Structure 1
Amino acid sequence: MLSRRKLSGRILVSQLLILAVTSMIGFVLLAISQRSQLDHVNEQRALSIAQVAAADPQIVQAMTAGDPRPSTAGPVQAAAMRIMDATNARYVVVIDRKGIRHSHPTLTEIGQPVTEPVVALDGQDHFFIDPGSTGPSANARTPLYDASHRHIIGEVSVGISEKTVVTDLLSELKVFALYIGIALAVGVLASYALAWRLKRTTFGLELEEIAGLLQDREAMLHGIREGVLAFDQSDRVSVVNDEARRLLGLGTALGSRLEDLLPQGRLRRALAGELGPDEIHVLTDSHCLAINRMPVVLHGRALGAVVTVRDRTEMVGMLRELDSVRGLTDALRAQQHEFANRMHTLAGLLELGEQEQALDYAVELASTDRTQAAKVRERIANSLMVGLIVAKCTVAAERGVRLSLDPASKLGAEPGHLRRLLTVVGNLLDNAVDATAASSPASVELLILETPHAITVRVTDSGPGVPAEARAHIFEDGWSTRPDRGTARRGLGLAMVHRLVTRHGGEITVSEGPGAVFTVRLPLPDAEPAPLGAVFVTAPPALELEAGGAGRLTTARQNSGRTRW
C-alpha cells in the first residue's frame, strides 16, 4: 500500500507508524520503570512500619518476657493490629527466634511456625516482594531487640499489598498517557510539516521519478562531449563530468570551491562568472576553451549556476588560419592585378614592335621579384621561416605597411625551437601589422638572431605602442585593444606566445610606446623539439621559394598534422 502512495504520503504514514510504535514502547518501559519505583517506595514504607513496630514498647516488653503461648488476645497481637490499622499495612507479623508467629491478620496463623528462615537474626534489614499466604506484597523485615537493645529476640515482618501499587500506578499512567498523547499529536503535526517541506523541496517528484532523473543525469553528463560543472548556492562544485575533469585538469572536485581547485587567473575568474555573462574564451596550457556560466533559478529560488566548457582548440585554430588565408588571398589578388598590368604593358610593347624594350622590362621585373626573396635568403637559411617572412611581407604591403628584415638577422637551416619560432614570429608580425596599419609612416622591422646559447626574436613597429597601464594585462588571454576581425578571435595570440615561450624556459618583454618593441628569447639547445604539426601556427600558409631561385612562389601549408596548442 505504501508503494502506491505519493512520496509525502509515504513519509507521513511511515513517521506516524514510527511515532506510534516508539510511543507504545516508551509507555510500556515507563510503566515498568514506574512499577519498579512504586515497589521500591512501598518496600521502604513497609520497612519504616516494621521499624516502628520493632520499637513499640508493648511488643518489646511482651517479647522480652518470652510468652511461651502466643494468643490472639495477647499484647503482641493487639499492638500489631493497632499499627496495621493505623498504617493500612496488609499485615504486621511478629516472629520470635524460633520462627513462631506472635501476631498475624489471620488468627489461625498465630502460634504457627513460618516456613522460611528468620532472616533478620543477622541484624540487617531485608525487603523484597513476597508472594505470601495473603497474596503478593511489598515485604520488609527488621530485627526485634529486647528491652536492653543488646540481644535479638526475633523479627518484625510488614507487608503492603500490591493492589495499592497497581492503583497508584494506574493513577500515574493516566497522566503519562495524556503526556504521550500530546507528544504524539505534536509529532503528527511535525511529520505533516516535514512531509510538506520534503514535497516542496523535491518539487513534487516521487521517489521513482527522482531515481530516474538521477540515472538520466549520470548518463547525460558522462555521455556528452562538453564539460559540465554545477555549483550550489555556496559556490561549491556539486556536479562535474569526465570531460570537465579532462579539460580543466581536475581531480576529485565534488564539494570543493574553485579557489581550492584552480590557481588565481583568468580561467578561475571565468568559471566563477567574474568576467561577465557572455561566452569567454580562455587559453590554457593545452586547450582553448569556450566557457559559459548561467545561473539556475527555479520557481524564483536561486539554486546555483551551471558552467559549460567546450574545447575550441581546433576550431579557433582553423578560424585564425582561415582569416590569415583570406588576408593572403587579398594580397595575392592585388598582386594578380599588378601582374595583369605588367603583362598588358609587356604585350603593348611587343605589339608596337619594341622587342628590345620589352625584353629589358621583363628582365627588370624578374630581377625585382628575386631581390626581395634573395635578401631574406641571405640571412635566413631555413625555408619555412623564409616562406613565412615573404608571405607576411606580401600581406603587410597590401595593407600599406613596410615589413623589413633587420640586416643583423641570422638563422641557420635547422634552428632549435623551429615550430615555436614560426608561432612566435607569425603572431608578433600579425600584431605589429595590425597596430601600424593606421599610422603613417607604417613600418615593421623583424630581427631573428641565432647564437650558440639562445635565439632572439625582436619585432619593432611604428604604431602607438603599448600603454603603461596595459603592460600588466597584455599577455592575458582574451585581452585586446581591438575588436574581433573577421573570424579570428582577438586576445589569444600574445597569450599563446607568452605561454609557449615561458613553458620552454624563455622570456618575452615589451617596451612602452610610442612604437612597441616585443623581444623574445628562447634558450638553446632545444631540449624538447616539437614534432611536425605539434604547435599551432597563426600565420598564413607559408610561401616557399622553388629550388633554383627562379623567384616563382607556391603556397604550402605549415601544419600537416593535427592542430593543437
Structure 2
Amino acid sequence: MGPSVTLPDPVIHRTMTSVSRGMNRKLSTRILINQLLILGATVLIGFVLFARVERGQLDGQYEQRAAAIAQTTAGVPDVIGCLEAPQPPCSTRVEMIAERIRRETGASYVVVIDMNRVRHSHPIAALIGQQVSEPIATTDGQTHTGIDNGSTGRSANGKAPISGGRGQLVGEVSAGIRESSVSLALWRSLPVYALWFAVALACGAVASWLLARRLKRQTFGLELEEISLLLQEREATLHGIREGMIALDPGGRVSMINDEARRLLGIGTAGVGRRLDELVEPGRLAAVLTGQISGPDEVVLTDDYCLTVNRMPVTLYGRPHGAVVTLRDRTEMAGLLRELDNVRGLTESLRAQQHEFSNRMHTVAGLLELGHADEALGYLTELHAREARFGDALAARIASPLIVGLLVGKAAQASERGIALSIGEETWLGEVPDLGDPLVTIIGNLIDNAFEALSSSDPPVVGPRVTVDLFEDEDDVRVRVVDNGPGIPEGVGRSVFLDGFSTKPARGSLRRGLGLALVHRLVQRVGGHIDVSEGPGAAFDVRLPRCGETISAGGVLVA
C-alpha cells in the first residue's frame, strides 16, 4: 500500500476558515433562523387548524347537549298532556316548565311548539303565542341538531319531537345554547393547548440549534457563499489540469472524475457513482486503479497510452475516507526516452564500428601502398557481397518486404553492437497481409529485447548471438526469437509481460518493461499466444492465427 493523505482537524479548520473572514451572518445562524421561521409558521398554522377542529368538536358537543335538553323537555308528562288537549291555563304551565329547565341547564332558550307551529314558551314573552316561521323539523320522529340564527342570536340548537300517548306527533321542543357559551369554553381550553404547542416549538428550536451546529461542523465552518466559491474553484482546477484525477468514496465508488481522466481511460460522460471495476475492463489497469496492485508510479499500458498511475488512500479524522487516483500520460515521454536510449546504444555501436572501419581502411591502404590493388579490390568486393548475400537470403525465404526490411535493419544494428543475428534455416513466411503491422512490431521488439539483454549482461556474453525463426502453416504464423544471454530468472516467466516489469537495471529516468508488455498486448489483440523460457538463454515463442483481426500496430510504443 502506498502513502496516504491524512487531513488533520486543525489543518482542515485553518484551511477552511482562512477564507471565511469578513462574513457577517454565519451559516448556523441562517439555518437556525430559517428553521425557526418555518417551525413557527408550522406551529401557528397547526394551532389555528387545531382551534378550528376544536371549535367544531365543541359545536357538536353543545348541539348534542341542546338535543338532550329538548328530549328531556319533550318527555315531561305535563308538556305532553297540555299539547294533546290544550286548554287556556295549559300554556302557562308549559312556559313554567320550560323556563325552569332553561335556568337549570343554562340553555339560552327552550321553546315548546304545537303542531300549528305556535310557541307555548320562549325567553321573550312577546313571542309566546306567535307562530314560528320555520316548519316543524321533527315530523320524521328523529332528533335534529344544528346552528340556529334565531331571535336570541346564534346558538347550538337541538330539536326533539313530542309524542302523544298513542305515539302520534303533538309538537316539538327546540332548545339552544348561545354561541358565546361555546366560544367561552373554547377560549378556556385554548391556553392549555397553546402551552403544549409552545413546548413543541421550544423542543423544535433546540433541535434546530443542534442541527445547525452539526451542519456547521460538517462543513468545516464554511458559509454558503464560501462553499459555492470553493466548488467553482475545485471544478475549474480539476478540469483545467493536465493530469487525470479520480476521487473515490469509502465504498470504492467514483465521487469525482475530471476530463483528463475520462480521456485517458476512455470512460466518456459516465462514471460518477459507479465502481472503477465497472468502468474499466479487467486487467492490470483495473488492478492498479482499485488498489489490488499498489506502489508508487505504477506503469500501465492501454491500447492508446502509456500511463503512470498513483493511488493514495485518504484519511480524515483518523478514519479511511476513500482514495485519490492520479494518472499521467507518459506516452510521448516514454517514446522519447526509448528513442534516446536507442540513440545512446547506436552511438556506442558507431564508436565501436569506427574502430572496425578504421581497421578495414588501414588494411586497404596497406594493400594499395604495397601495390596489391587487385587484392584490395577483392577484399572490398568480399565485404559488399557478404552483406548482399544476407539480404538475398532473407528475400528468398520471406515474402513480406516489411519484415525483410526490418530484419536487414536489425542485422545492421547487430553488427554495430557486435552481435551475430541469424535467421533459422527452416524460416519460411508468405505475405500474411492481415498480420503485417503486428508482426513488424512483435519481431522488432523481441529482437530489441534480445539486443538489450546481451548488451547489458554482466559479465559480458562471449560470442553474443540472436536467432530468429519464422514459420507459416495453414492455420498459424509462428515467431521464435532466441538469444544466448543471461535469460529469464526462474519463477518470473509470466511477469516479464507486465507493464513496467524488467529484469534489466534502470537507466536514468527511462521506464523499462514496456516493449514486452506491448508485444503481449498485440499478441492478445490478434488472438495469439506468447511463451517465454526460463533459465539461461531466453527463447520467446509467439503463435498468431492467420485469420486474426486486422489491426494496426500503431500502438503506444513501437520500437
Is the Cα contact below 8 Å between 1:379 and 1:410 reproduced in 2?
A: no
Q: Shift in Å at residue 32 of structure 1? A: 0.7
CA offsets per residue over residues 19-52 of structure 1, 9 Å max, x none?
1111111111111110011101111122122222
Letter in 2 for 1:431: N
Structure 1 counterpart SS, 2:478 = strand
Q: Shift in Å at residue 248 of structure 1? A: 0.8
Is the Cα contact below 8 Å between 1:447 and 1:458 reproduced in 2?
A: yes
Asked whether 1:54 is paired with 2:43, we answer no
Structure 2 counterpart SS, 1:225 = coil
Letter in 1 for 2:500: G
How far apart, CA to CA, are the structure 1 residues paired with 2:205 and 2:394? 92
Is the Cα contact below 8 Å between 1:448 and 1:455 reproduced in 2?
A: yes
How far apart, CA to CA, are the structure 1 residues paired with 2:151 and 2:322? 78
| Aligned CA distance change for structure 1 residues 152 and 227 (closer, same or farther; 3 Å) | same
The Cα RMSD (Å) is: 3.2
Letter in 2 for 1:404: S
Q: Shift in Å at residue 524 of structure 1? A: 4.2
Match of 2:3 in 1: none
How far apart, CA to CA, are the structure 2 residues paired with 1:17 and 1:297? 39
Corresponding pairs, count:
526
How far apart, CA to CA, are the structure 2 residues paired with 1:366 and 1:183? 111
Match of 1:22 in 2: 42
Structure 2 counterpart SS, 1:119 = coil
Match of 1:198 in 2: 215
How far apart, CA to CA, are the structure 2 residues paired with 1:478 and 1:329? 26
How far apart, CA to CA, are the structure 2 residues paired with 1:473 and 1:349? 55
| Aligned CA distance change for structure 1 residues 59 and 535 (closer, same or farther; 3 Å) | closer
How far apart, CA to CA, are the structure 1 residues paired with 2:265 and 2:558? 24
How far apart, CA to CA, are the structure 1 residues paired with 2:526 and 2:383? 40
Letter in 1 for 2:405: L
Match of 1:290 in 2: 308
Match of 2:542 in 1: 520
CA offsets per residue over residues 470-491 of structure 1, 9 Å max, x none?
4454433233344433443222
How far apart, CA to CA, are the structure 1 residues paired with 2:316 and 2:149? 72
Match of 1:458 in 2: 480
CA offsets per residue over residues 403-424 of structure 1, 9 Å max, x none?
4322222457996644433321
How far apart, CA to CA, are the structure 1 residues paired with 2:522 and 2:385? 34
Is the Cα contact below 8 Å between 2:306 and 2:331 reproduced in 1?
A: yes
How far apart, CA to CA, are the structure 2 residues paired with 1:86 and 1:313? 105
CA offsets per residue over residues 145-172 of structure 1, 9 Å max, x none?
0123x20011111112223322221232
Asked whether 1:207 is paired with 2:224, we answer yes
How far apart, CA to CA, are the structure 2 residues paired with 1:187 and 1:526? 72
Q: 1:41 pairs with 61, 79, 83, which one?
A: 61
Q: Shift in Å at residue 177 of structure 1? A: 1.0
Asked whether 1:126 is paired with 2:126, we answer no
Is the Cα contact below 8 Å between 1:379 and 1:411 reproduced in 2?
A: no
Residues 79-228 of structure 1: pairs in structure 2 closer than 5 A: 79-148=97-166, 150-228=167-245
State the identity as a percent.
50
How far apart, CA to CA, are the structure 2 residues paired with 1:189 and 1:359? 113
CA offsets per residue over residues 181-225 of structure 1, 9 Å max, x none?
111112212222222222222223332332233333333333333
Is the Cα contact below 8 Å between 2:421 and 2:467 reproduced in 1?
A: yes
Letter in 1 for 2:519: V
Is the Cα contact below 8 Å between 1:258 and 1:272 reproduced in 2?
A: yes
- Structure 2 portions without partners, runs of 5+: 1-22
TM-score (norm 1): 0.83
How far apart, CA to CA, are the structure 1 residues paired with 2:346 and 2:123? 129
| Aligned CA distance change for structure 1 residues 112 and 529 (closer, same or farther; 3 Å) | closer
Is the Cα contact below 8 Å between 1:419 and 1:535 reproduced in 2?
A: no
How far apart, CA to CA, are the structure 1 residues paired with 2:495 and 2:540? 15
Structure 1 counterpart SS, 2:234 = helix
CA offsets per residue over residues 392-413 of structure 1, 9 Å max, x none?
423653xxx6543222224579
Q: 1:313 pairs with 328, 331, 341, which one?
A: 331
CA offsets per residue over residues 277-329 of structure 1, 9 Å max, x none?
41121111111112223344566665433322222212111211211221222
Q: Could you say which structure has the greater relative contact order, defined with CA pairs below 8 angstroms and 6 or more residues apart?
A: 2
Asked whether 1:31 is paired with 2:46, we answer no
Is the Cα contact below 8 Å between 1:70 and 1:110 reproduced in 2?
A: no
Is the Cα contact below 8 Å between 1:463 and 1:515 reproduced in 2?
A: yes
- Structure 1 portions without partners, runs of 5+: 540-565
Q: 2:382 pairs with 367, 373, 382, which one?
A: 367
| Aligned CA distance change for structure 1 residues 485 and 528 (closer, same or farther; 3 Å) | same
| Aligned CA distance change for structure 1 residues 416 and 395 (closer, same or farther; 3 Å) | farther
Is the Cα contact below 8 Å between 2:352 and 2:417 reproduced in 1?
A: no
